[in-house]
Structure 1
Amino acid sequence: MRMNEVEFDDSRPVDGYGPGFFRVGGEKFDGAVLLLPSGPASWGGFEDASTLVAAAGEVDVLLLGTGAEIAHPPAALRRAVEAAGLGLEVMASSAACRTYNVLLAEGRRVGAAMLPV
């Protein structure tokens, strides 16, 4: 098997996650987290659609991690994000972490808003 080293330039991949937290680029975030090219930040959860809409110029696709299990996001959040021109991909937060890292390594303009597991 061939192994390839992944380089993330100055972006910050998800290093790990656990009950109630995410570790991004070595920094621990308790609770929900928003990952954008401008850097990681705490996120207000499903009620905080305005922060996601504001990211429309930074990313082409937004991964939405819904926690330990995949779940439907509130319709108002989905409508607001899609009206801003963002593609929204909903998945469990564990899958969102993996997908985010892969797309980040490919140099894609990706963002992730994730609820903790």
Structure 2
Amino acid sequence: MTDTGHYPQQVMIDAYGNHGFRFADMSHRGSLLCLPTGMFAWDVTTAAEITLEALAPVLAVADQIDVLFIGLGKDIAAIDPAIRTAFRERSVIIEAIATGGALRTYNVLMAEHRAVAAALIAVDTAR
């Protein structure tokens, strides 16, 4: 990723854990947004920090996606109903699950060339 925390295209994720992700033959430390416009560093570290404001970059490209996977870290937590409503109004389905499951399903849909995005909280160990 560049110094700005951006990789210019959306790609599949090769590995996760150790507080980051591997993709496109590089390593990124921290949470990650995987969008049709590229891969972006994401300042969210806990599920409690997932807000409409934190997801604003995803909302900005909502017309290019059908499904958003939210990787909540190691555990599952409730997503604010206002987030679900904002995405539903844009015809985007949200699946909020543990980061490992979110990125595995994201990769499957990417391989199928589907309109998918992911917002992934980095975890220390892969499950």
Aligned partner of 1:28: which letter? S
- Aligned partners of 1:52 and 1:81 also within 8 Å: no
Counterpart Cα distance in 1 of 2:68 and 2:96 = 9
Contact 1:78 1:88 (C-alpha < 8 Å) held by counterparts: yes
Deviant stretches of 4+, over 6 Å? none
TM-score by length of 1: 0.81
**Number of the residue aligned with 1:35:** 34
Alpha-carbon RMSD: 1.7
CA apart distance, 1:87: 0.8
TM-score normalized by the length of structure 2: 0.75
Q: How far apart are residue 111 of structure 1 and its match?
A: 0.6
Counterpart code for 1:32 = S
Q: Which among 94, 108, 116 is matched to residue 114 of structure 2?
A: 108
Does residue 20 (structure 1) correspond to residue 22 (structure 2)? The answer is: no
The answer on whether the counterparts of 2:63 and 2:90 sit within 8 Å (CA) in structure 1 is no
> Shift of residue 36 of structure 1?
1.5
Distance 1:32 1:76, change over 3 A: farther
Amino acid at match of 1:71: A
Deviation, structure 1 residue 105: 0.7
Which is further off, 44-53 or 92-101? 44-53
1-side partners of 2:83 and 2:57: how far apart? 11
Aligned residue pairs, count? 108
Aligned-residue sequence identity (percent) comes to 36
Deviates more, 1:53-62 or 1:38-47: 38-47
Aligned partner of 1:94 in structure 2 is 100
The 1-side partners of 2:29 and 2:74 are apart by 15
1:33–1:114 CA contact under 8 A, matched in 2? yes
Task: Indicate the residue corresponding to 1:49 in structure 2.
Answer: 55
